[in-house]
Structure 1
Amino acid sequence: MKMNSLDFDAQALREKILDLAMRGKLVPQDPNDEPASVLLEKDNLKNSDEKPHDIPASWKWIILGSGVNFYNGRAYKKNELLNDDKFTPVLRVGNLFTNSSWYYSDLKLDPNKYIDNGDLIYAWSASFGPKIWNGGRVIFHYHIWKLKYDNTAIDKNFLYYFLLDKRNVVGETDLHGSTMKHITKTNMEHLPFPLPPLSEQSRIAAKIAQLFALLRKVETSTQQYAKLQTLLKSKVLDLAMCGKLVKQDPNDEPASVLLEKIKAEKQELIKEKKIKKTKPLPPITDDEKPFAIPDSWEWVRLGDIAQVGDIDHKMPKQTQDGIYPYISPKDFTKNGIDYQNSKKISKEDFIKLSKKFLPQKGDLIFPRYGTIGKIREVNVDLPLLVSYSCCLVRSSKLIDNSFVKSELDSQITKEEIKRYINKSTQPNIGLKSIQRFLFPLPPLEEQKKIAKRISEVNKIIDG
Structure 2
Amino acid sequence: MDTKALRQKILDLAIRGKLVPQNPNDEPASVLLERIRAEKQQMVKDGKLKAKEIKNDTVIFLGDDNLHYEKFPDGTVKCIEDEIPFELPEGWEWTRLDILTTLVTDYVANGSFATLKANVRTYKEKNYALFVRTVDFANNFEKDLSYIDKESYDFLDKSRLYGGELMLSNIGASIGKVFKIPYFDFPMSLAPNSIILKFHYNTTSDFFEYVFRSFVGQDYLQRLTAGTAMPKFNKTELKQMLVPLPTLTEQERIIAKIKELLSIVDFIESDKTDLQTTIQLTKSKILDLAIRGKLVPQNPDDEPASVLLERIRAEKEELIKQGKIKRDKKESVIFRGEDNSYYLRMGNLIETLDDWRINDIPYSWGICCLGEVCDYGNCTNVDTKDIPKTAWILDLEDIEKDTGKVSQKLTLKERNSASTKHSFHKGQVLYSKLRPYLNKVVLVDDDGYCTSEILPLDFNKYILPEYAKYYLMSPTFLRYANHCSYGVKMPRLGTLDGRKAVLIVPPVNEQKRIADKVSQLFSLLDSIADNVN
Which bracket does the TM-score occupy, shorter chain normalised? 0.7 to 0.9
CA distance in 2, matches of 1:327, 1:172: 38
Is 1:64 the equivalent of 2:88? no
Aligned residues: 443
The one-letter code sitting in structure 2 at the alignment partner of 1:120 is L
CA distance in 1, matches of 2:5, 2:89: 24
Unaligned runs of 5+ in 2: 38-56, 61-69, 71-79, 335-341, 344-351, 529-533
User: Shift in Å at residue 282 of structure 1?
Assistant: 1.7
After superposition, the CA RMSD in angstroms is 3.8
TM-score normalised over the length of structure 2: 0.72
**What is the match of residue 205 of structure 1?**
255
The one-letter code sitting in structure 2 at the alignment partner of 1:332 is I
Is 1:401 the equivalent of 2:465? yes
Q: Which range moves more in the overlay, 215-224 or 429-438?
A: 429-438
Is 1:248 the equivalent of 2:298? yes
The one-letter code sitting in structure 2 at the alignment partner of 1:52 is P
Is 1:133 the equivalent of 2:181? yes
With over 3 angstroms needed to count, the CA separation of the structure-2 counterparts of 1:401 and 1:207, relative to structure 1, is same
User: Shift in Å at residue 229 of structure 1?
Assistant: 1.9
**What is the match of residue 188 of structure 1?**
238
With over 3 angstroms needed to count, the CA separation of the structure-2 counterparts of 1:231 and 1:207, relative to structure 1, is same
**What is the match of residue 332 of structure 1?**
399
With over 3 angstroms needed to count, the CA separation of the structure-2 counterparts of 1:197 and 1:348, relative to structure 1, is closer
Q: Which range moves more in the overlay, 424-433 or 163-172?
A: 163-172
User: Shift in Å at residue 358 of structure 1?
Assistant: 1.5
Max Rg structure: 2
CA distance in 2, matches of 1:11, 1:347: 30
CA distance in 1, matches of 2:415, 2:371: 31
**What is the match of residue 259 of structure 1?**
309
With over 3 angstroms needed to count, the CA separation of the structure-2 counterparts of 1:159 and 1:343, relative to structure 1, is farther
Partners of 2:436 and 2:482 within 8 A in 1:
no
Which of the residues 12, 20, 26 maps onto 2:5? Answer: 12
Q: Which range moves more in the overlay, 367-376 or 220-229?
A: 367-376
SS in structure 1 of the partner of residue 303 of structure 2: coil
User: Shift in Å at residue 252 of structure 1?
Assistant: 1.0
Which of the residues 389, 410, 425 maps onto 1:360? Answer: 425
Is 1:103 the equivalent of 2:146? yes
**What is the match of residue 43 of structure 2?**
none
User: Shift in Å at residue 45 of structure 1?
Assistant: 5.4
Q: Which range moves more in the overlay, 275-284 or 217-226?
A: 275-284
Q: Which range moves more in the overlay, 124-133 or 95-104?
A: 95-104
SS in structure 1 of the partner of residue 10 of structure 2: helix
With over 3 angstroms needed to count, the CA separation of the structure-2 counterparts of 1:119 and 1:238, relative to structure 1, is same
User: Shift in Å at residue 30 of structure 1?
Assistant: 1.8
Is 1:218 the equivalent of 2:268? yes
User: Shift in Å at residue 280 of structure 1?
Assistant: 4.9
> What percent identity do the matched residue pairs reach?
28
Is 1:81 the equivalent of 2:81? no
With over 3 angstroms needed to count, the CA separation of the structure-2 counterparts of 1:349 and 1:140, relative to structure 1, is closer
The one-letter code sitting in structure 2 at the alignment partner of 1:222 is K
CA distance in 2, matches of 1:179, 1:244: 61
Deviation per residue, 1:155-185 (Å, 9 max, x gap): 11110011113552335979xxx99953302
The one-letter code sitting in structure 1 at the alignment partner of 2:153 is K
Is 1:29 the equivalent of 2:96? no
**What is the match of residue 38 of structure 1?**
31
Unaligned runs of 5+ in 1: 1-7
CA distance in 1, matches of 2:127, 2:303: 76
CA distance in 2, matches of 1:216, 1:348: 41
SS in structure 2 of the partner of residue 377 of structure 1: strand
Map of 1:171-182 to 2, 5 A cutoff?
182=231
**What is the match of residue 4 of structure 1?**
none
SS in structure 1 of the partner of residue 406 of structure 2: coil
CA distance in 1, matches of 2:328, 2:412: 32
Which of the residues 160, 177, 180 maps onto 1:114? Answer: 160
CA distance in 1, matches of 2:89, 2:323: 76
